[in-house]
Structure 1
Amino acid sequence: MCGIICSLHVGCSSCGDIDNIRGGPDEAFRELSERLKVANAARGPDAQGSHHVRIQGTCPGEAQATNENETCTLDLEFFASELRLRGDAPIVQPHEQDGDVFCWNGEVFEGLAVNADENDGVKLFQSIHSLSAMDDLPFLLGKIEGPYAFVYYHAASRKLYFARDPLGRRSLLIHKPSVSNPYFLLASVSIGDDQGCIMEELSTEGIFCLDLGKLRESNGVAQNFDSSLTCISRHTGQETLPFAKLSRVNTALPPDAPPLVLSLDPAILPYDLAIAVDHLIDHLDRSVMLRVENIPRKPSSEKGKAQVAVLFSGGIDSTVLAFLAHRYLDAILHFGVSYYFVFSRHVPLDEPIDLLNVAFENPRKIQVQTDGNIGAIPKREKKRQLKAAETNGIVKESTSYMVPDRVTGLQEVEELRRICHGRTWNFVEVDVPYEEFQAARAPVEAIMFPGRTVMDLSLAMALYFASKGAGRVRFSSASNDYQPYTSTARVLLNGLGSDELLGGYGRHRTAYATRGWQGVIDELQLELDRIPTRNLGRDDRVISSHGKETRHPFLSLTVVSFLAGLPVHIKLDPRLELGLGDKMLLRLAARKVGLLEASVRKKKAMQFGSHSARMEAGEAERRGDLMIRTVAEA
């Protein structure tokens, strides 16, 4: 994980884009740049560096007619901070060779050979730098899988290339020059709603190229920026590139009245469904392995501390990921008449795995508990949850923090302890008092920007406090012996993507009710199309503000391709009840690996499961698309 910035502004005494008077626009730009560096440095606490490139030329403005020595200078600055999650030592970015400059914020998991002691950014820079022509860049990127955002300056052509991966798993924001703010900015995270820069998410539609030579020759950066910027397609018809674009959802309709799966018992499944279950386990297992292996281990003095954590609600998605992070690859090797079993654990068995579970003190929910339960969880369901918690040996807690995700989390960690022998599971209870929520509101709004809806805030708050990992642990659910605990893990596994790919939302059932299987197919395609524009950039900005990195095993492009290609009735069956038909394939996989309780968990949205949503009575009626106040309104 890194924080990267690229800034471009003009130094010219006659064009008027930027003057050099102390305290004028140039000074304001420098102040803005420093604030951006502070925000982006938080993403990479292990190393920071910067590099300047100045492109000089004759001024194209009116001054050229009177003074042939008049010059305009394009001032490029590259800044990067580094969170070391690859290689033997921190790598100071930006990478630079022969005038080329590269800022990399990403992870290469497939398509480029990177040894455990190597850095993927260094290897990728070498690959790009050795290209015979920059026209080959889409071919190179189309063969690698992993989340990324990057900026690359090609000195020979004076062109700047920048992009995010096709799913948009890493944040990259862009400020386009305007008359009032005539400079160009790219940054992993902004400083919030600020008049000095209008940041927006960079599109994932292609690889962008800014022609700086053309821009320098034009009369003003703001006036000619759009004509100097092009978008290069990620793929061509000449070669199949496995990771150049998102796969399309299988459009084949199921046979008339496909058989109903009335049980999650893997022993009685139809053949095609049983094969799909095995393949899903294999794909997810490999995806998790790639995301937890080769993390630089801590010195011996810090042995026994977690390197990997799971954002853990106790639901099926996070539980499956936790189980797969623990499990081992097993294989049988045959040599003559002898057989050997090979076991290789993804996370070493002597290393704990942290399960980060967040709960908010929600005054509105507490008021409901006092005055009645109108609009909240039905009383019978609440009683059922609390009774189940007591039955499983979970001690009674203050109702302020016994939120739905805490109840299911405490239940599910016990299932993991029963079936994952020898592993220490640190169930980290992150309790957020209302006052702490209020104090964090302004900084979280700044970090998540340009996300700015009420729903953005609810989700961002849950991720912000969960990923911080500061709470308490108890080593059995029946114990009152708490200890303060702060997670040391810098790699966080996130179950995002399973609902979109496997049909876990209520709208998939609605689509079936109104338009049959074709409606479900259309809805799944819509889900896949909008993944790059929804949560991922915001989530990356929020979690990485703690110097940590989130990884999404369900959103490996290999896993996405596999699931998109399956027939719709293999993935879900909206004819069946909740807890069975939604995400049916994943439920069957969970049951097969032994996660009996997790396999029947029902969907809970994070903001409702943690009680981060609608913290005050006035917010209960506010919709998710209602805008948060702007700076001007505040």
Structure 2
Amino acid sequence: MCGIALIVCGVRIDLSALLPIFSISSLPQAEQPLFSINDIKAALRRRGPDSLGSKKVFLHSKIPSSVEGQDIFSLTVEEEAIKGDLHYNANSCHCISSASEEPCMLDNDFDKPKCVAELFFLGATLQLRGINPIIQPLVDAAGNILVYNGEIFGGIYLSSDSNDGEILMESLGKCCSCSSHGQMEACHGSEKGQNSVPNLLSTINGPWALIYWQASSRTIWFGRDAFGRRSLLVHWPTSKDSRLLLTSVSPPHSIDKSFDHGEEYGTSEMDFWEELPCGVYSMRVGASKLDANMVGEVKRHEWTDPILNELIKWDRTSVQPKPEELNVSRMKFPGWQHDMLSVHSTKVPYESGLTQASVVVPSETVLLALREAVMRRTAISTMFMAAKCGKTQEGHAPVAVLFSGGLDSMILSALLDECLDSKYEIDLLNVSFDKESAPDRISARAGVKELKRISPLRRWKLVEIDADLSKLTSEAKHVTSLINPAKTYVDLNIGLALWLAAGGDGWVCEERIYNSNNNYDNGDYQRIKYKSEARILLVGSGADEQCAGYGRHRTKYRNASWLGLHEEMKLDMQRIWKRNLGRDDRCIADNGKEARFPFLDEDVIRTLLSIPLWEIADLDQPSGKGDKKILREVAQLLGLHEASVLPKRAIQFGSRIARESNRKNFGSNRAANQASAGSVEIYRTSSLN
């Protein structure tokens, strides 16, 4: 999948159940809304989808004799589907002006309808699963409409030749449409064996964001998965723009306006969007008893799956070790075991995502869960093999890794090698703002050497993406729109590095010769231009949050011991949707790539939570040993001995974009540090003008 959007016009939005400070919004008509439908279409089209479609639903009210007797019905009157060079437009309703995005208002005669509201659905599809091409929005015989951006890796059965969206649409169509969809109310349909929408969505394993129109109940359902692995932005109605807007990405047009119109835009326009908090929401649309206008009450629903709720709480049973337990942990994985433990020795049967009792060492348990997570995310389907109309060549790289050569990306690369047929190449995407001198470039080259040692038959392609920040003015402005509503320099630095890396446009060396200093010899290699065509990108997000990889974790442990460390890690996991994942998903997807996060697989999270904290990390030990201890042991099991001792290095520092950004925007690293540059908001900076 790729991206989704919904624009709701002409509905008074009641947010009182969601945000107590809000009441029912009025319906002022903005003279010139900041965003148009075409702006959002353009943002989704940039993502390189295989298809982009739209559908409008108009809500009319018949007024027979009194306001109380209104009969509301929905009617789909206009659709647009774009696939490749194919453009199709159905006939528009006679009451709609093709030049206007506002809902139509006709005479209020006895037998004439009044079009009082409009729902505009947009769906962009980067199709990686299923045999037959699909175009979103999906519509079923009952008039239900779905736009979906996600993958189903469990919870709902999906055969190897099925498409996620089509299967989900079929399942949603069987859900109850009763009115008891309050925050804590039970669904009446469950008595008849029907599922509810929140129930169904709670069972899905995998990243998703969706918008669903349930025609029978006149309800819009929307939301994102419990960890926020897919972006969904929301604009709640305001006096400046009374529409309800949902979209996977903020259109660039808004940032151009914010920077080109002076102070009257500035921060207020940067605050137009917010990350939709993870969860399932509904808005049932009905007629006001006072007038002919539509009213929609927004509610947030509880996750109903108890296992999922346990993961969201992120409570660990064993946090504080006894002295003897800590001593045993530190002696459990002696160095002499490393060479004796083969990666294949841990391949035991794996059922329903649960590790088997025969696996004793915690790191082996984690390895099993991670291997299965990578396997689920890299299965090659018929549709994927036929991507881009069969233009792909035999042996091409269908899956790439965001690659620094560090611990997390090395583990993902080694596991991908196990899960992917040996006939395929693997692209390792590495970005540097200091060419071969950046720490991530040095560790990436060393990492490829180690990967070739453990898997010499695989064709590894290190894609070296060189960037010069001083020459990326227009790119920086564009990435500023992608990270929105994030707006600090650290967000921009990370976003720009991710965006460039995901683009995969760099250089590869067919033959690599290393000297004793691990640098290139001036001999037998040829550096050629290369652009990765892989549409799936494995990313290591979630590893540091769950395994104590950040410096602040060590600080918290030093000040508040094990309980303090646990609370800090819990905080990181419960805010990762807002601080990281939405931003990262938008920056990667803009290149026509789909980010997948094996460390945030539900079974991996569950496995890590089941292990005592002192087995996950031991921050009394030095950097490169105690931090992310469990993953270092996983790396040893995979034969990645050099990678297992590498210290943590964030992408903005490893790629050296932070250093270059500090020099460009603050004059020097010292000045940037004095100004706490990472938390400084961007807004109207000279570097973007």
- TM-score category (smaller protein): 0.7 to 0.9
Alpha-carbon distance between aligned partners in 1 of 2:113 and 2:630, rounded to the nearest angstrom: 68
Q: Residue in 1 aligned with 2:6?
A: 6
Tell me which amino acid in the other structure corresponds to 1:114: L
Find the residue that maps to 1:519 and give its secondary structure: helix
1:319 aligns with 2:410: yes
Tell me which amino acid in the other structure corresponds to 2:337: A
Give the 5 Å matches for 1:118-517. 118-133=162-177, 135=187, 136-191=196-251, 192-193=254-255, 198-204=272-278, 206-214=279-287, 228-235=297-304, 240-242=306-308, 246-252=312-318, 253-256=320-323, 258-259=326-327, 261=330, 265=335, 267=337, 275-295=361-381, 296-298=384-386, 299=390, 302-327=393-418, 346-361=419-434, 400-478=435-513, 479-517=524-562
Find the residue that maps to 1:145 and give its secondary structure: coil
**Inter-CA distance 31–503: structure 2 relative to 1 (3 Å threshold):** closer
Tell me which amino acid in the other structure corresponds to 1:288: V
Q: In the TM superposition, what whole-angstrom CA distance separates every residue of 1:113-148 from its partner, at most 9, and x where no partner exists?
A: 212211011001100101234641122112110000
Compute the displacement of 1:293 (Å): 0.5
Q: Is the 8 A contact 1:247 1:564 kept in 2?
A: no
**Inter-CA distance 11–300: structure 2 relative to 1 (3 Å threshold):** closer
1:108 aligns with 2:181: no
Q: Residue in 2 aligned with 1:367?
A: none
Find the residue that maps to 1:608 and give its secondary structure: helix
Find the residue that maps to 1:408 and give its secondary structure: helix
Compute the displacement of 1:75 (Å): 0.7
Tell me which amino acid in the other structure corresponds to 1:88: I
Tell me which amino acid in the other structure corresponds to 1:581: G
Alpha-carbon distance between aligned partners in 2 of 1:56 and 1:119, rounded to the nearest angstrom: 34
Compute the displacement of 1:401 (Å): 3.7
Tell me which amino acid in the other structure corresponds to 1:246: I
Alpha-carbon distance between aligned partners in 1 of 2:291 and 2:445, rounded to the nearest angstrom: 63
Find the residue that maps to 1:186 and give its secondary structure: strand
Alpha-carbon distance between aligned partners in 1 of 2:60 and 2:161, rounded to the nearest angstrom: 40
Tell me which amino acid in the other structure corresponds to 1:293: A
Give the stretch that moved more between structures: 436-445 or 282-291.
Answer: 436-445
Alpha-carbon distance between aligned partners in 2 of 1:65 and 1:432, rounded to the nearest angstrom: 60
**Residue correspondences, number:** 560
1:545 aligns with 2:615: no
Q: Residue in 1 aligned with 2:127?
A: 84
Q: Residue in 1 aligned with 2:41?
A: 37
Q: Is the 8 A contact 1:266 1:588 kept in 2?
A: no
Alpha-carbon distance between aligned partners in 2 of 1:218 and 1:105, rounded to the nearest angstrom: 37
Alpha-carbon distance between aligned partners in 1 of 2:107 and 2:132, rounded to the nearest angstrom: 54
Give the 5 Å matches for 1:514-525. 514-525=559-570
Structure 1 residues without counterparts, runs of 5 or longer: 328-345, 362-399
Alpha-carbon distance between aligned partners in 2 of 1:161 and 1:458, rounded to the nearest angstrom: 34
Compute the displacement of 1:434 (Å): 3.0
Find the residue that maps to 1:428 and give its secondary structure: strand
Compute the displacement of 1:66 (Å): 9.4
Q: Is the 8 A contact 2:7 2:120 kept in 1?
A: yes
Alpha-carbon distance between aligned partners in 2 of 1:121 and 1:534, rounded to the nearest angstrom: 27
Q: Is the 8 A contact 1:277 1:585 kept in 2?
A: yes
Compute the displacement of 1:441 (Å): 0.7
Alpha-carbon distance between aligned partners in 1 of 2:106 and 2:508, rounded to the nearest angstrom: 70
Percent identity, aligned pairs only, is 33
Compute the displacement of 1:218 (Å): 6.5
Tell me which amino acid in the other structure corresponds to 1:87: G
Alpha-carbon distance between aligned partners in 1 of 2:369 and 2:155, rounded to the nearest angstrom: 16
Structure 2 residues without counterparts, runs of 5 or longer: 13-24, 69-104, 179-186, 188-195, 258-264, 341-356, 514-523
Tell me which amino acid in the other structure corresponds to 1:586: L
Q: Is the 8 A contact 1:359 1:406 kept in 2?
A: yes
Find the residue that maps to 1:156 and give its secondary structure: helix
Q: Residue in 2 aligned with 1:339?
A: none
**Inter-CA distance 242–301: structure 2 relative to 1 (3 Å threshold):** closer
Q: Is the 8 A contact 1:142 1:241 kept in 2?
A: no
Q: Is the 8 A contact 1:266 1:592 kept in 2?
A: no
1:629 aligns with 2:689: no
Alpha-carbon distance between aligned partners in 2 of 1:210 and 1:592, rounded to the nearest angstrom: 50
Alpha-carbon distance between aligned partners in 2 of 1:215 and 1:458, rounded to the nearest angstrom: 48
Q: Is the 8 A contact 2:107 2:114 kept in 1?
A: no
Q: Is the 8 A contact 2:11 2:293 kept in 1?
A: no
Find the residue that maps to 1:599 and give its secondary structure: helix
Alpha-carbon distance between aligned partners in 2 of 1:582 and 1:158, rounded to the nearest angstrom: 51
Alpha-carbon distance between aligned partners in 2 of 1:611 and 1:242, rounded to the nearest angstrom: 38
**Inter-CA distance 137–285: structure 2 relative to 1 (3 Å threshold):** same
Compute the displacement of 1:241 (Å): 4.6
Tell me which amino acid in the other structure corresponds to 2:372: R
Which of 548, 567, 573 in structure 2 is aligned with 1:528?
Answer: 573
Compute the displacement of 1:273 (Å): 10
Alpha-carbon distance between aligned partners in 1 of 2:397 and 2:430, rounded to the nearest angstrom: 15
**Inter-CA distance 66–218: structure 2 relative to 1 (3 Å threshold):** closer
Alpha-carbon distance between aligned partners in 1 of 2:540 and 2:323, rounded to the nearest angstrom: 33
Q: Is the 8 A contact 2:404 2:441 kept in 1?
A: yes
Q: In the TM superposition, what whole-angstrom CA distance separates every residue of 1:286-311 from its partner, at most 9, and x where no partner exists?
A: 00000000341143861121100000
Tell me which amino acid in the other structure corresponds to 1:459: I
TM-score, length basis structure 1: 0.82
Find the residue that maps to 1:75 and give its secondary structure: strand
Alpha-carbon distance between aligned partners in 1 of 2:637 and 2:215, rounded to the nearest angstrom: 55
Alpha-carbon distance between aligned partners in 2 of 1:512 and 1:558, rounded to the nearest angstrom: 26
Tell me which amino acid in the other structure corresponds to 1:80: G
Find the residue that maps to 2:385 and give its secondary structure: coil
1:585 aligns with 2:630: yes
**Inter-CA distance 599–482: structure 2 relative to 1 (3 Å threshold):** same
Q: In the TM superposition, what whole-angstrom CA distance separates every residue of 1:574-600 from its partner, at most 9, and x where no partner exists?
A: 111111111111101110121111111
Q: Is the 8 A contact 2:311 2:605 kept in 1?
A: no
Q: Residue in 2 aligned with 1:382?
A: none
Q: Is the 8 A contact 2:26 2:242 kept in 1?
A: no
Alpha-carbon distance between aligned partners in 2 of 1:216 and 1:118, rounded to the nearest angstrom: 45
Alpha-carbon distance between aligned partners in 2 of 1:405 and 1:264, rounded to the nearest angstrom: 29
